[in-house]
Structures are given as C-alpha cells and as structure tokens.
Structure 1
Amino acid sequence: MDYLFVALGLVGLFLGGDALVRGSVGLARRMAISPLLIGLTVVGFGTSTPELLVSVEAALGGVPDVALGNVVGSNIANVLLIIGATALIWPIAVSGATLRRDTGVMVAAALALIPIFALGEVGRAAGLALVTALAGYLVWAYLAPGDDVPDEADLPPPMPAPRAALWLVGGLVALMLGARFLVDGAVAIAEDFGLSEAFIGLTIVAVGTSLPELATSVVAALRRQSAIAIGNVIGSNIFNVLGILGVTAIISPIPVAPRFLVFDLPIMIAASLLLTGLLLLRPAIGRVLGALMLIAYIAYILSAQG
C-alpha cells in the first residue's frame, strides 16, 4: 500500500503540475499579461508548486528532513539528472548576458544556505530573507529582461476563462493529494526499510517533485530548444531555494540535520558551479558530458544513504 501511495503521489504531482501551468498560462494570456511576466511568475511558480506543497506538508507533518531533502535533492537532480538526460538526448548550447545573471543568482542562492544551515535551523527570519531575495530577483529580471524574452509565438493561445479555471482548480487538487500521498508513502517506506527520512527526501521525493522540470526539459531537447531546457532548470533551482525553502520556513521553521551542511549542501553547490562553468566556458554540453553527469548522480544516490 505504501508503494501505491508513492506511485499515486508521483502521478498526482506530475499531472497536477502540468494542469496548473496550462491553466495559469491560459488565464494569463486571456488577461493579456506579457509573455515575460508569464515566464517569470506563472510558469516559474507553477512548476515549483509540487516542491512547495510537499515541503510544507512534510514540515507540518513533523518530518523536516523530508522537507529539506526535497529542496536540496531537487536542485541536485535538476542539474545532474535532468541536464544530464537532456544533453544525452540533444547537446545543449545556450549563451547570453541573461544567462550569466541567472546562473550567478542560482549560485549565490546556494551559497547563502551555508550560514543558514550552520545555525542548525532555517527559521522564520531566514525564510523571510529568502522570499525577499526572490522578490528582488523577479523585479530585477522584469526590469532588465536581457536577451531571453520569450516570443509570443512560443506561448499557447489564450484559453477561455472557465476552462482555464478548471485546469487551475484540478491542478491544485491533484497537487495537494499527490503531495500528501507521496510524503505519507515515502515516510512509511523509509521506516519499513530502516532508511533515513533525509535519504527519502533527497531521492524519491526530490525526483518525484522534479518530474515537471524533467518532462519540460526532455520535450524541449526533443524540439531542439536548449534555452527552454536550461532556463527551466536554472529558474527551478532559484525558486526552490529562495521561494520553496523560504515559504516553508515562514510557515514552519525547519531544523537542519548535520548531514545537510557537511554532505548534501556542498554537493548541491558543486553541481550549481559545475553547470555554471559548463554553460559559460564551453560552447555546448554534449552527450559525453551528459552521460558523466548521470553517472555522477547515480554515485551521489548510492552514497547518500551513508
């Protein structure tokens, strides 16, 4: 039954995230909101909603290691698993001044967690600071869009308001149910096998909540749209740290187990620096590098339980 809960949770998160983004973008288009603002807010928050609901559910449910592992593990999976798989399908080549800004914000957000984790808790003050930083980043990105402004032709047509509302409500319901099933099932499995809650959060839960990003990046790779695949991962990593962790900590302060500071966070930072270096210093991330990133992710999973 626990495995059924996990499976139902993963399906709910995947379908709910897709429905939420469809409805949000359709409604935003109907309201004549600019493509840039849609990309920065509606789609960005929409694809991060699974992480938010799972982390809040876990924190309120008394399993903070799952909440924290979800954020850190998702960021590691986004780089090593999603970018690795995407590059394996089609080499990734992206450049531009905006890329330098966004990768810089991603790395800065990861580094900001060092002093926060060192305190032993992500408290409400730290959560508020993270959310404030996210608001500042969104304003900065909106006022200085750079060279990555999405084209009207890349967005879906406006959607009738009733249909968009149905997508929105259905997506939120699926996400909430999926989050509950995933957390309950994952924690039960961890207890049955003697696995730590942190390990479950860093692996099963983290990959599960990253399914929308994985699907988006793989489809983008198949369509030869490297910028979408990269932007999806970088944006998700920024939202996970500043938005998801920040909001969760404001709702319920999160104790930080020592392993996150000495093991998982350094790997997350290293993955962020690796992606930044590859994007800024190489013309493309090819299939060989993609395979190596996947191997690195498998190695991390195998060592995470220890």
Structure 2
Amino acid sequence: MSWLFLLAGLVLLLLGGELLVRGAVASATRLGISPMLIGITLVGFGTSTPELLTSVNAALAGSPGIAVGNVVGSNIANILLILGISALLAPLLVDPAALKRDGAMLLVTSLAACLLVLSGEVTAVMGAGMIAVLVAYVVWCYLQERRSQDAGARMHRHEAEAFVPAGTPPLWRSLGVALAGLASTLAGAKLLVSGAIELAAVAGLSETLIGLTIVAVGTSLPELVTSVMAALRRQTDVAFGNIVGSNIFNLLGILGVTALVEDIPIPQEILGLDLWVMLAATLLLLLAAWSGRRLSRLEGGIFLGGYLLYLTVLVVSNS
C-alpha cells in the first residue's frame, strides 16, 4: 500500500504542478502581466510547489526527516541529476551577467542555510527572515531586469513563453486549470508523505533517507521536465536558470514557509553528510559554469556520475 500511495502521490504532483504553472501563466498573460515578471515568479517558483506542499505536509505530520530531506535532496538532485541529464542532451550556455547575480545569490543562500541548519533547528523567526530575503531578492531582480532588459530578462521571458499556450484561453478556463492543478498537487503531497512514512516503517529505513531520495526526486519532476524540454529546444539558458532559481526558492521559500508552520528539528543524518553534499554540488556547479561559461556534455556526465555515487553512499550507509 505504501508504494501505491507513493506512486499515486508522484503522479498527482507531476500532473498538478504542470497544470498549476500552465494555468497561472495563462491567467497572468490574459491579465496583461509582463512575461518577464511571470518568468521570475510563476514559472521560477511554480515548479517548486510540489516541494513546498510536501515539506509542509511532512512537518505537520511530525516527520522533519522528510521535510528537510526533501529540500536538501531536491537541491542535490536538481544540480547533479537534472542539470547532468540536461547537459548531456545539449551543452548549457551560461550568461556571465546572469551567473554573477543569480549564482552569487545561490552561493550566499546555500552558505546561510547551512549555518541555520547547523544550529539544530530552523525556527519560525528564521523562517520569516528567509521569506523576507526571498521577497527582497525577487523585487530586486524584477526592477533590475525591467531597467536593463539584460540576459536575465530574456531568460525569464523564455521561461514564461515555454508555458504560454497557443491562443491564450479565456481567464475563467485558465483559473480553473490552475485551481485543478493546486488541488491535485495538495492531494499528491498528502499521498506522497503518507506513503513515505509508511514505507520507512515497513522497510526499516529512516524517514530522512526516503525524503532525500524518493521524495526529493519525485517532487523535482517538474524541474526535470522543464529543464529537459528547454535543453531539447536549445533554450539552454532556461534549463540553467530554472535550476538555480528553484534551488534558491527551495532554501529560502520552502524551508522558510515550512518553519513558519512548524519549527523544524534537523536530523543528525543530514548534518553528517547530505548538507555538505548539497554545498559541494552548489560549488561544483558555480565553478563549472564560471570556468567555461557553459556546462559541457562531459561536465553533465560528471554531475550524473556524482549523483549515482551519492545514492550509492546513502544506500550503503543505511544498509
């Protein structure tokens, strides 16, 4: 039954996340909101809705291992697994200006999140501070890109265009799609958390391990679809920007909102290994992107190999 819950939850999360983003983007387009702002907010953060609802549900269910493991594991999977696959499909070009701003923000956010997590607990006060920083960052990005119309602005317009349907549907229909997506995502998050808790109990595995692997990869499926499709369309700036933006949102938005709902004690397993793998993957990504202004197929293969090695270490250490 636990596997059935997990599978149903993953399907609903993938379907719901897609419908939510497409409905929200179509509604915003119909209301005349600029594609750049849509890309920064609805697309950039909308693909992380499954992670958000899953972590909140896990925290409310008293499963901090799943709540935190989902965030840390998703960031690791986003970089090593998703960007690895995307770069293997097509080398990912990186604009230096966009990398300087968003890459620096990702590095600062990752370091700050590590410091907070090392305290042993992420509290509501910390969560409020993280959300405030995220809001300030989004406003700053929008104002900067609206003035300069730089590479970051083009990237966010491309993100929005990827979700705009041919012939924008009526507003009522777009809102209906978005609401259906939200309902599906909520149901999927509940099923996924229930299945993960039951699977951990039946299989004798820690909830943290399940959160870092099955849950984290499952909730990252929208990012995987978006990045892979962008790579196939040769919109490689979207593939790279989608992951960087999602990782920033995971650390500030998801961890922040979850901590506001419920103080989150940090499992020792994450403090011992996974937090440092996340930080190392982030540093590896930024170094690779900065050195060649792109992620090559070789680097994509190294990323993917690194993820398989990480999974192997997790399985062996928990066997």
5 Å-filtered alignment, 1:19-168, equals 19-145=19-145, 146-150=150-154, 151=157, 154=161, 156=164, 157-168=167-178
Please say which of residues 140-149 and 8-17 is displaced more in the overlay. 140-149
Q: For 1:223 and 1:302, how far apart are their aligned partners in 2?
A: 32
User: What is the distance in 1 between the residues matched to 2:169 and 2:310?
Assistant: 43
Give the residue type in structure 2 aligned to 1:212.
P
Aligned mates of 2:122, 2:152 — CA distance in 1: 33
How far apart are the structure 2 equivalents of 1:73 and 1:217?
A: 18
Whole-Å separation in 1 of the counterparts to 2:96 and 2:113 = 27
Select which of 276, 279, 287 maps to 1:269.
279
8 Å CA contact 1:67–1:201 kept in 2: the answer is yes
CA distance in 2, matches of 1:142, 1:81: 29
Matches within 5 A, 1:221-240: 221-240=231-250
1:246-261 aligned within 5 A? 246-261=256-271
Greater Cα offset, 149-158 or 39-48? 149-158
CA drift of 1:139 comes to 1.1
Shift of 1:241: 0.3
- Distance across 1 between alignment mates of 2:87 and 2:96: 19
Answer whether contact 1:55 1:66 (CA < 8 A) is retained.
yes
Does the Cα contact within 8 Å between 1:95 and 1:280 map onto a contact in 2?
no
Structure-1 separation of matches of 2:3 and 2:117: 32
RMSD: 1.4
Q: CA deviation at 1:2?
A: 1.2
Cα deviation, residue 247, structure 1: 0.4
**Identity among equivalent pairs (%):** 49
Residue type at the aligned position of 1:213: E
Unaligned runs of 5+ residues in structure 2 are none
Asked whether the 8 Å contact 1:29–1:159 carries over to 2, the reply is: no
Q: Deviations over 1:86-112 (max 9, x none)?
A: 011111122231221101111111100
Correspondence 1:292 to 2:302? yes
Question: Matched residues in 2 for 1:301 and 1:187: separation?
Answer: 20
Contact 2:45 2:245 in 1 (8 A): no
Give the drift of 1:47: 0.7
Instruction: Give the partner amino acid of 2:125.
Output: A
SS for the counterpart of 1:144 is: helix
Moved more, 294-303 or 281-290: 281-290
Structure 1 gaps of 5+ residues are: none
Once structures 1 and 2 are overlaid, which stretch shifts more, 10-19 or 289-298?
289-298
- Matched length: 306
Shift of 1:43: 1.2
Distance in 1 separating the partners of 2:198 and 2:35: 43
Residue identity matched to 1:147: A
Farther off after superposition, 90-99 or 120-129 = 90-99
SS in 2 for 1:303: helix
CA distance in 2, matches of 1:139, 1:284: 27
Contact conserved, 1:27 with 1:165, CA < 8 A, in 2? yes
The answer on whether the counterparts of 2:53 and 2:185 sit within 8 Å (CA) in structure 1 is yes
**Which residue identity does 1:164 align to in structure 2?**
S
Tell me the SS of whatever aligns to 2:313. Answer: helix
SS in structure 2 at match of 1:33? coil
1:33 is aligned with what amino acid?
I
SS of the counterpart of 2:133?
helix
